[in-house]
Chains A and B, each alone.
Chain A
């Protein structure tokens, strides 16, 4: 365990759940604060709150608030989504920072703590829109779309965890806590990759490209990404560089072995072919025989053959495909808490050759001894 002595109070809503989960995976003891009787049955809650223990509180109960205060007093990090629960007035980030000088307080909000729209309401849809992600997903000219599985909560939680540990590192060195401020919108922006750089450098605006990829050719050609195959879709892109050249050559070799019609592919020297300089007509001619070939291939066949040939490209998986992937099985990625058959994504990192086990079932109550206060602890 990397964080065996770190105690975290997690009073977040969905926007911040993943932060505590990731920190728990790294070995921290994470106490999730829940209102008595709250619904913890959804897959969303259980997947993000496994590996934590739960402290149930009645917002009106004075004794329990004292218990919470004691817990925070002993904690290293407190994760908050301000304004999201009945406990919020007691869990104001600024107040906690003032009362607990060594505490790392993390405040996660849809749009940030300051700024003209800091008070705006936002759920996954609006945060993905505000962060630019929806402008890049969907058919060209059509309706922008989000990922059907909410993503912005993941982005906010993941960046909150990183920020919390950077602040904890400083706390260890200086004795000073901090307030880590996290904007869901800004977290999504960082996932846009270099798309904004096209605007800044060349005045070109990337937008929705459907099942294609743009921005790879200085002549504006778009490349197909998703190819219908026998049982779904395959993600394959004509890349350049060392890996791209190998992939392109291997695909053509595979097609040749199968007796597929090669068209213009037969005469291309992949060592000199440069995708950044191809125009649309050239790309279309290259892609036509590939589309015919891949339409007869299954997803699993592509995965196996792609690995064997060291090709770039993957099938478009469903959750069923993922659940049965031998790579994940061998690495023990899916885990259950001891004594339970409920399955989860396991701890996200393998440390010194071992994947840390999930320690607490979702909703497992914390049978707390009085919180231990570390030497030189908060307050």
Chain B
């Protein structure tokens, strides 16, 4: 396997442990340097939801993995390009070895272990960010070409629509947004909240139209997205699924405010309709 008898090269054998020690040290250094560079080059937006904490944590772990694997391959590669380059006038061949079964098994099993670990973490984080909470505030967000309506009810009740088209939410309150479309696919995404969900039309809009006039709401499949905003501030909701001409500008304001300010806004926006709803 590492037969050098036919290859009288003055350079050291490729299996010399010194190569691996140098490479090992370089990999450690490169990993750390890359992690720092990647954290700088890939800055996530402000963290404004509870889900963002979990997601950013897993994101950071991925960056470590990327830094390590990138360092592993490129250090070995660049080292080889320098140390094992052909010297001027040397027309000979390289060392003749065809493989190494132990290495093959090793570099198949080790990645498999990583896959198992990240699968587990992927599962737990997925459950974390999609888990149903108690006391969710339910809002229906309706996407259409090219804007959004927000209904503060669990059905698209036109009497509970946010008048200025701003999605106002109280801080630290779990929110369930049910999503429906009047026409094509859209997607609900506020980068600071991290989570994203497509908006899928599920029943003919003509049925929706007729029904809402009668005050009745047909069964419709709405996709759902859950998040708990935890930072007061102004954000933007941007449609994240190409939906035609003005997809680029299908943007609405989202305001996360203190509970008191939310209650005030709710009162002034919905007034009687809200009382009627509460009485039902």
Bound together: no
Seen from chain B, the residues whose Cβ lies within 8 Å of a Cβ on chain A are none
Seen from chain A, the residues whose Cβ lies within 8 Å of a Cβ on chain B are none
